[in-house]
């Protein structure tokens, strides 16, 4: 098990974000409402820095849309083996 898989399994929020972005791209607000959390920005930023998700429109000031990456798909598949 890689350290990335362990980190995802420890973070329910990140795991839920990856699960939801695997279905369709979303904004931070859409994710926060779906997950019933006031904010998911820090978790998404960390996932973006680790290249598990990608911002489709990084130059936008508002309404940035995040999507699942192939690296995120591999990570989620590995993490689901342990759930």
Mean pLDDT by 10 residues, the chain (83 residues): 89 96 97 96 96 97 95 95 90
Distance between CA atoms of residues 23 and 7, nearest Å: 21
Q: How far, rounded to the nearest angstrom, does the alpha carbon of residue 77 sit from its chain's CA centroid?
A: 13
Asked if 18 and 12 touch (Cβ cutoff 8 Å), the reply is no
**Is the full-model pTM beyond 0.95?**
no
First to last CA, the chain: 13
The answer regarding whether domain 3-80 maps to CATH 1.10.10.10 reads yes
Domain boundaries defined on the chain: 3-80
Nearest to 82 by CA among 21, 6, 28, 4: 6
């Amino acid at each position: 098990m890689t350290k990335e898989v362990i980190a995802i399994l420890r973070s329910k929020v990140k795991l839920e974000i990856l699960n939801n972005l695997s279905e369709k791209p979303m904004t931070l607000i859409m994710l926060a409402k779906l997950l019933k959390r006031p904010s998911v920005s820090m978790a998404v930023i960390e996932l973006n820095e680790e290249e598990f998700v990608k911002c489709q429109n990084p130059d936008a000031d508002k309404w940035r849309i995040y999507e699942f990456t192939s690296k995120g798909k591999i990570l989620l598949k590995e993490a689901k083996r342990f759930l």
